[in-house]
A and B are shown apart, each in its own frame.
Chain A
Amino acid sequence: MSELAQLLANGLVTGSIIAIAAIGLTLVYGILGIVNFAHGEYLAFGAFIAFAVNVTLGWPIAGSIVFAMVATAMLGLGLEYGLWRPLRRRGAKVVALLLVSIGLALVLRHVIFLVWGATPRRFDVDVFQVYDLGGVIRLSLTQITAVSIAFAAILLVGLTLARTKLGKSMRAYSDNSALASVSGIDVDRITAYTWVLGAGLAGLGGVLLGLVQGSFNPNMGFTLLLPIFAAVILGGVGSAYGSLVGGVGLGLAMELSTWNALAGGVDPVYKPVVAFAILILALLVRPQGLFGKARYV
C-alpha cells in the first residue's frame, strides 16, 4: 500500500512538470503552427538562468524561479520577433518551421553548454530534508514544493483558459484563426501572449525539473522532450486542457508501471518505454487524442 502511495506521489511530481511544459508546446502549435523541438531547451534555459541567480548571485530560490520564468518568457518573445515571425512572413510552413526548431534546439543547447559546461549542477536548496507523510509517503521538501507549484500553475492556467477573455481568445485562435480575427482578436497580441505563457511555463517547468532531479545538465530538457510530446499527443494536439491531463496521466502511468504488485513491475529504466506504449495504445483507440477534435473528411 505504501509503495503504491509513494509511486502515485512520484507520478504526480513527474506528471505535473510534464503537464506545464506540454501546455506551452501545444499552445504554440495550435496558435502558430510551430512544432517546437526547441521547447526542451526552453526548460533547460529556465533551469540554468535560475541556477545563475540562485547559486552564482545567491538569490533565494523563490526569487530565482520568478526571474527564470520572466527570462524564459523574454527568450520566447525575442525568438518570436527575431526568428519565427520573419519566417512566417516569408511563407514558411509547418515542416520548414519544424526543421528550424530542431536547429534552434541544437544552438540553444550548445550555447548553454558553452556558458555553464557539462558538469551537473544543483540549486542551493536543502535536498536532504525529507518529510514522512502519514508514514506511507516520503517526499523531499523540494519535491513537495515542486509539485505544489506545478499544480498551482496548472490550476491557474486551466482557469485562465476556461474563464478569462485572454484564455478564451487563445483557444478560439487555436480553433479557427480566420474566425478569431473576424471576431476582433488581434493576431499579434495573441501571438505575444502565447509565447509569454508558453515559454514562461517552460522556464518554470525547467526549474522544477532541476529541483526534483536534484542535479541537472544542459541535456535535461532534451531528455524530457519526448515525454512532453507524448503528453501533447495523448491529450489531443492543440488542446490545452488535453495536454494538462495527458501530462499528469503520463507521469502517473510511468511511475505506476514500476509497481511491484503489477507482476513485479517494470525496471524503472523502461519508464519512457511504458509512456510510449500507453501513447500508442491510446492512439489506436482514439487517434485524435483524449481531447482532440475528430477530423471531418
Chain B
Amino acid sequence: MTAVAPPILETTGLKAGYFEVNILHDVSIAVPRGAIVSVIGPNGAGKSTLLKTIYGFLKPRDGRVVYRPDGAEHDITGLRPNRVTALGLSYIPQLDNVFPNMSIQENLEMGAFLLRTGVDERLERMFELFPLLRERRRAKAGGLSGGQRQMLAMARALMSGPDLLLLDEPSAGLAPNVVDEVFDKIREINAAGISMIIVEQNARRSLAMSDYGYVLDMGRNRFEGPGERLLHDEKVVDLYLGGRGRLAAAAPSGEDYEAAERPPPPAQRRFRL
C-alpha cells in the first residue's frame, strides 16, 4: 500500500463501553482505500465493540471516527447507524445477520432501502454473485443454513453499494469447507474495489488475505503491520496465534498457509458492484 491517498476510514483514540465499563480504551486504526484490514485479538479484546462503535451502535466516550469516500471527509463519530449507511458504509453483524421472517428477496430489498433507483439491477448482480440465493429467493431467510445465511448477509450488505464493508466474524459457527467459500467471496468482493474491515477469531486465515492487520488486546492497540508480516512476527505468533508449537500440532500439513497462497479468484468471476 502506498500511503499517498488518505485512508478511507480512520479512528483515533477511540474509547467506548457499556455502563461503567470501558471496553475500548484507546484504539486507532486506519483502513487504506481498497484494502482488507483485519482486526484480531483474544476474546474480550474489544474487536466487535470497535465495529459497533465505528457504526454508531455505541457512542464513543472519546476519540474520533473519520470516513473519507471519494473526495469528501465526514466526521462520523457517534453518527446513528442509518446515517452511517447513507454515507456508503455497510456492516455485517455476527450471527444475527438476516431478517429471519422475511424472504430472501425481501432481505436483499431491505439492504437497498436507501436506494431510489437501480434496485432490480443490484438484485440481479447479487443473484449472479450468489446463485443459490436466486434459486431460493421466495424462501424465508430463517430456514437457511449457517453458510447460506452468511452469503445472504453479504449480499444484503452489498445491496446498498458500499465503499467500505465491516464484517464481524464472518466465519463464526461455520463448517470448514463453508468457511473457505465465505473467504473466497470476501476476496472476490474486495477485488471489486470495496474496502473492508474484518474482525476474526480465525486470525491466521484472516491475516493471510489482509493487506494490513491490527492486534487488539484489552481495548488497546498492541501490534500492527502488513498481514503477512504479522503472520510471521514471533511475538504475535506466540501471544495471539497460538504459538508455533500449537500451530505445528494443529495443522501439520501447513494448511493455514495454503490459504495465503491460494491464487486470486479467476477473472471471469469478477463483477462490478
A: which residues have CB within 8 A of B? 165, 168-169, 171-172, 175-176, 178-187, 239, 293-294
Q: Residue of B at shortest CB range from A165?
A: B113
Q: Residue of B at shortest CB range from A294?
A: B142
CB distance from B251 to the nearest CB of A (A): 31
CB distance from B149 to the nearest CB of A (A): 11
Tell whether B99 is near chain A: CB-to-CB under 8 Å: yes
Which of these binds chain A: B6-14, B60-68, B69-77, B86-94? B86-94
Q: A residues within 8 A CB of B82? A: 181-187
Q: Please determine whether A183 and B85 come into contact, CB atoms closer than 8 angstroms.
A: yes
CB distance from A170 to the nearest CB of B (A): 11
1/0 contact string of B122-139 vs chain A (CB within 8 Å)? 000000000000000000
Q: Please determine whether B57 and A171 come into contact, CB atoms closer than 8 angstroms.
A: no
Tell whether B174 is near chain A: CB-to-CB under 8 Å: no
Q: Please determine whether B57 and A180 come into contact, CB atoms closer than 8 angstroms.
A: no
Tell whether B43 is near chain A: CB-to-CB under 8 Å: no
Q: B residues within 8 A CB of A179? A: 93, 96-99, 110, 156
Nearest 4 CB-CB pairings of A with B: A184-B114, A181-B81, A175-B99, A184-B85
Q: Quick one: given A175-B99, A175-B101, are A169 and B110 in contact (CB under 8 Å)? A: yes
A-B contacts, 17 of them at CB < 8 A, read A169-B113, A171-B99, A171-B102, A172-B99, A175-B102, A178-B93, A178-B96, A179-B93, A179-B156, A182-B55, A182-B85, A183-B110, A183-B113, A184-B82, A184-B113, A187-B80, A294-B142
- Tell me, in angstroms, the Cα distance from A219 to B93 when the chains sit together: 46
**Residue from the set A165, A176, A179, A181 with the largest chain B CB neighbour count within 10 Å:** A179
Q: Quick one: given A182-B81, A182-B90, A293-B142, are A176 and B113 in contact (CB under 8 Å)? A: no
Q: Please determine whether B142 and A181 come into contact, CB atoms closer than 8 angstroms.
A: no
Q: A residues within 8 A CB of B102? A: 168, 171-172, 175
Q: Please determine whether B109 and A168 come into contact, CB atoms closer than 8 angstroms.
A: yes
Q: Name A293's contact: one of B55, B101, B109 (CB within 8 Å).
A: B101
Q: Please determine whether B160 and A183 come into contact, CB atoms closer than 8 angstroms.
A: yes
Tell whether B100 is near chain A: CB-to-CB under 8 Å: yes
Tell whether B111 is near chain A: CB-to-CB under 8 Å: yes
- Tell me, in angstroms, the Cα distance from A267 to B160 when the chains sit together: 58
The count of chain B contact residues (Cβ–Cβ below 8 Å) is: 27
Q: Please determine whether A180 and B101 come into contact, CB atoms closer than 8 angstroms.
A: no
Q: A residues within 8 A CB of B98? A: 176, 179
Q: Please determine whether A182 and B91 come into contact, CB atoms closer than 8 angstroms.
A: yes
Tell whether B106 is near chain A: CB-to-CB under 8 Å: yes
CB distance from B146 to the nearest CB of A (A): 10
Q: Residue of A at shortest CB range from B91?
A: A182
- Tell me, in angstroms, the Cα distance from A171 to B97 when the chains sit together: 15
Q: Quick one: given A168-B106, A184-B82, A293-B142, are A176 and B100 in contact (CB under 8 Å)? A: yes
1/0 contact string of B211-229 vs chain A (CB within 8 Å)? 0000000000000000000
CB distance from B102 to the nearest CB of A (A): 6
Q: B residues within 8 A CB of A184? A: 82, 85-86, 113-114, 160
Q: Residue of A at shortest CB range from B140?
A: A293
- Tell me, in angstroms, the Cα distance from A172 to B113 when the chains sit together: 11
Q: Quick one: given A178-B57, A179-B93, are A168 and B110 in contact (CB under 8 Å)? A: yes
- Tell me, in angstroms, the Cα distance from A182 to B51 when the chains sit together: 12
- Tell me, in angstroms, the Cα distance from A74 to B38 when the chains sit together: 49
Q: Name A175's contact: one of B100, B109, B157 (CB within 8 Å).
A: B100
Q: B residues within 8 A CB of A180? A: 99, 110
Q: B residues within 8 A CB of A175? A: 99-102
Q: B residues within 8 A CB of A186? A: 82
- Beyond A178-B57, A185-B110, 16 extra complex contacts between A and B, CB < 8 Å: A168-B102, A169-B110, A175-B99, A175-B101, A176-B96, A179-B96, A179-B97, A180-B99, A181-B82, A182-B91, A183-B114, A183-B160, A185-B82, A186-B82, A239-B101, A294-B142
Q: Quick one: given A171-B101, A293-B100, A293-B101, are A182 and B109 in contact (CB under 8 Å)? A: no
Q: A residues within 8 A CB of B90? A: 182
- Tell me, in angstroms, the Cα distance from A51 to B160 when the chains sit together: 49
- Tell me, in angstroms, the Cα distance from A274 to B24 when the chains sit together: 56
Q: B residues within 8 A CB of A169? A: 110, 113
- Tell me, in angstroms, the Cα distance from A105 to B195 when the chains sit together: 52
Q: Residue of B at shortest CB range from A242?
A: B101
B138-158 with Cβ < 8 A to chain A: 142, 156-157
**Residue from the set A176, A179, A182 with the largest chain B CB neighbour count within 10 Å:** A182
Q: Please determine whether A176 and B99 come into contact, CB atoms closer than 8 angstroms.
A: yes
CB distance from A222 to the nearest CB of B (A): 31
Q: Name B113's contact: one of A171, A178, A185, A187 (CB within 8 Å).
A: A185
Q: Residue of B at shortest CB range from A174?
A: B101
Q: Please determine whether A182 and B93 come into contact, CB atoms closer than 8 angstroms.
A: yes
CB distance from B143 to the nearest CB of A (A): 10
Q: A residues within 8 A CB of B113? A: 165, 169, 183-185
CB distance from B201 to the nearest CB of A (A): 20
